[in-house]
Each structure stands twice: as C-alpha cells, then as structure tokens.
Amino acid sequence: MTIDLAPSPASTRASSPVHEDGFGVYVHWPFCRAKCPYCDFNSHVRHGGIDEARFLSAYLAELAYFASLAPARSVASVFFGGGTPSLMQAETVAAILEAIAKHWRLDGNAEITLEANPTSVEAARFAGYRAAGVNRLSLGVQALDDTSLKALGRQHNADEALAALDLAKRHFGRVSFDLIYAREGQTARGWRDELSLALGHAADHLSLYQLTIEPGTPFAARHEAGTLRTPNGAEARAQYLLTQELCEAAGLPAYEVSNHARPGSESRHNLLYWRGHDYAGIGPGAHSRIAVDGVKRALATIKSPEDWRASVEASGHGLASDEALSADEAAEEYLLMGMRLSEGIDLERFAAIGGRGLDEARIASLAEDGLVRRDGSRLAATPKGRLVLDRLIVELARG
Ligand SMILES: C[S@@+](CC[C@H](N)C(=O)[O-])C[C@H]1O[C@@H](n2cnc3c(N)ncnc32)[C@H](O)[C@@H]1O
Ligand code: SF4
C-alpha cells in the first residue's frame, strides 16, 4: 500500500524527542538465486558468484560509519533483510553481529531476525545462523500449492516450504512466514483453505501480503498486456477481510495492515519502524532514519551492490542521499507509518514532532463516520477505516 502525501511547505527542522526509545539496525543483503517476476526489491542475481569476504569488509566499514553518526545507542533489534540473506554464510552473519555489539550496546534480549528462502540449500544453514546469534527467522513461503509457487517464479515447492518451516521451528525461538494472496486465479474459497492450512503450521507471527503489481516488473508487463489477471477490487477486499477474520479466530490478530501475531510476539523491528524510532540501514539500497542533534535525517545508500561497495571502499560509506527532514515531513511520516498499526498514533507525540497537532474537527468528523477511534491521546483506524487507509491518512494530513 503506497501513498503520496502533499509536499510539506514547512521549512522548520524536525526535532525527535523520543529517539532514544529503541534503535534498530537493518542489514540489506541484495543477492538472490533468481529474480521473482513480481518483485521490485533491491535484489540482484550474480551467476558468477560474489566475493563475500570483500562485501563483508564493506559492511563492516559502513557499520563503523553509522556508529560514528549515531553513537552510544542501545540496539533493540537487528534485521537481515533482502534479497536473500539466507545466501549469506553464517560466518558473515556472525561477523556483522559482532561488529554491531562492538560499536553499540546490543540489548541482552535484542530481537535478531534473518529472512530466509525455503530451499533445502538455504535451510541447511539454520543451525549456523542460530549459533551466530539469530533468534528469529522469517521464511518466504509465499504460497502453499505448487502451481502457484511456479507461477510466482519460486525455487521451492510446498513440501520444501513446510519442511523448512519445521526445521526453522526447531532452531529458532521465534518464527514467522510470508504468504502472498490475491494471486492470479485465486478465489476467497481457495484462500480460506490455504490460509487455514498455513494457520495450522503458524508459530507466533505471519506476514500476509496482497499481491502488488509493481511497475517495471515482468508481472506489470503481463498485467498491462492482459495476460495476468489478478482478483478485482471487490474480490481482493473479500480476501483481505477473510484474512482478518481467520487470523483473529486463530489468535493471531493483525497488529499492522499485513502483519499478524500472537499478542506479545509482534516483530519488534517492524514496530520500531512504524512507531517512528531511529534505525541505521547498512548495505546496498538501505534506508535509515537517525536523529542527529535533534534533527531527524533520512539517509539512503547506493542501490547497485558493486557501486555501493566501491563507494564504501573509497570513502567509508555508500550513501546516495542524506537529508534533514522538516518538522512537517517528520510528523507526516510518523502519521503515515503509525496509522498502519492497530494501536495507531499518539497525538501528543505527533504534535511534539511536527510542532502542531492534527485538526480536531476533522478527527471528530472521521470518528463520526466510523473511520477512526480516539482514545485519550491515541488515534487509530477502525476496521472500516483500514479499508480506505490511504485516503484516510491524506485526509488527516491535510493542514
Ligand atoms: C523482499 S522479500 C525478501 C524475502 C525473501 N527473499 C523471499 O522472497 O522470500 C520480502 C517479502 O515481500 C513480499 N513481496 C515481495 N514483492 C511483493 C509483491 N509484489 N506483492 C506482495 N508481496 C511482495 C514477499 O512476501 C516476500 O517474502
Ligand atoms: S521475492 Fe525475495 S527471492 Fe524473489 S527476487 Fe525478491 S527478494 Fe529475491
């Protein structure tokens, strides 16, 4: 779900009064064995292999750069995302975690997640990741039937996915898996059966994404040509509502638009993003939000893996951009991210970040229409509001 908020006219800079509440480190590993036709993440296939030791040196150098930018933080969460981090050697993961613990204070109970693809080759590495310090695994299952997996261009079948899931549950205290629904030819009845099967195998967390047709992907070309037909709006909405109903009944309610967990098992890393806390993003095409001297900065690194590495080798970091957010921009971002959460946003915090509150009359009118719920200083979308979340946020953001 994407949204364009009107550009902010404010020129004042954003202060971030709560940036000490939790700090996350995101490590982007941009390599995959094959490119899935629906995916527009920063992921690349290198048939000739890569020089992993040389990339590791670049990751360690960039970590040192970010540690100098945001010193003395307490790291509550580390997330290895991709791409396919389960292509990393366990020694590479261990070396990065050691460096994080050396530069910052790594909380004793920090959440350390790694995204994995369920092929047998990658699943065989689970013990090594656990020994390296990873304590949460997020598995890209995507579908539980072989025809759909083939249509999604995946390298695994349903049996391999379930075997990898079993193995993950044996190695990690916390396990999540991803599914994509509203796929070509999928009906609400088919999704009910598939999701029920998935819930039978679920540990403490599920990410359930509606298929998005991303511009520039092979799926977008086929969609435009009329050879890829995905469920229409009403059908996709029915599948979304079914998702909420089944997950809630199984004890994994949504805590965010696409994320479901047993209460207490929400991904701390996800929460850190959506609650507007600071994080450092290391590796090609990673994003960061870091408050420096009370000003929230938005940083992004170079997307091409080799160009990023060359930049790190030359100057110690692979930054492509580094901008100070205005107070309005930082507050809009908090609104945009926070309203995705079932818990919503804290209106007092919104005002502290942006220097002005949301329009009370507009909140009252949206509440009257049953789209938002106000509880003291908290504001959240209702189930009805979540169905039109993008428009709701634009409405709230209107100055
Ligand atoms: C960037 S992928 C990384 C995980 C891993 N490489 C994998 O594919 O399993 C993160 C998740 O985004 C989701 N995703 C990627 N592209 C999507 C799209 N176009 N529509 C819906 N979900 C998508 C998939 O569920 C995927 O597991
Ligand atoms: S969906 Fe995952 S495996 Fe497929 S190309 Fe994207 S990042 Fe790579």
> pLDDT tens digits for the chain (399 residues)?
332 222 222 333 333 333 446 899 999 999 999 999 999 999 999 999 999 999 999 999 999 999 999 999 999 999 999 999 999 999 999 999 999 999 999 999 999 999 999 997 888 899 999 999 999 999 999 999 999 999 999 999 999 999 999 999 999 999 999 999 999 999 999 999 999 999 999 999 999 999 999 999 999 999 999 999 999 999 999 999 999 999 999 999 999 999 999 999 999 999 999 999 999 999 999 999 999 988 999 999 999 999 999 999 999 999 999 999 999 999 999 999 999 999 999 999 999 999 999 999 999 999 999 999 999 999 999 999 999 999 999 999 986
Atom of ligand 1 nearest to the CA of 40: 16
Task: Check if the beta carbon of residue 201 is closer than 8 Å to that of residue 139.
Answer: no
Cis peptide before 281 (omega within 30 of 0): no
Q: What is the pLDDT of residue 121?
A: 81
What is the 395 CA–ligand 1 centroid distance (Å)?
29
381 membership: H or E segment, kind and range: strand 378-381
Q: What is the pLDDT of residue 123?
A: 86
CB of 32 closer than 6 angstroms to any ligand 2 atom: yes
CB of 259 closer than 6 angstroms to any ligand 1 atom: no
Q: What is the DSSP letter of 21?
A: G
CB of 41 closer than 6 angstroms to any ligand 2 atom: yes
Q: What is the pLDDT of residue 91?
A: 98
Q: Torsions phi, psi of 129, nearest 5?
A: -65, -40
**Is the Cα dihedral 147, 250, 270, 164 positive or negative?**
negative
CB of 138 closer than 6 angstroms to any ligand 1 atom: no
Paired with 281 in beta bridges are 26
Six-digit token string for 56: 């590791």
Q: What is the pLDDT of residue 299?
A: 98
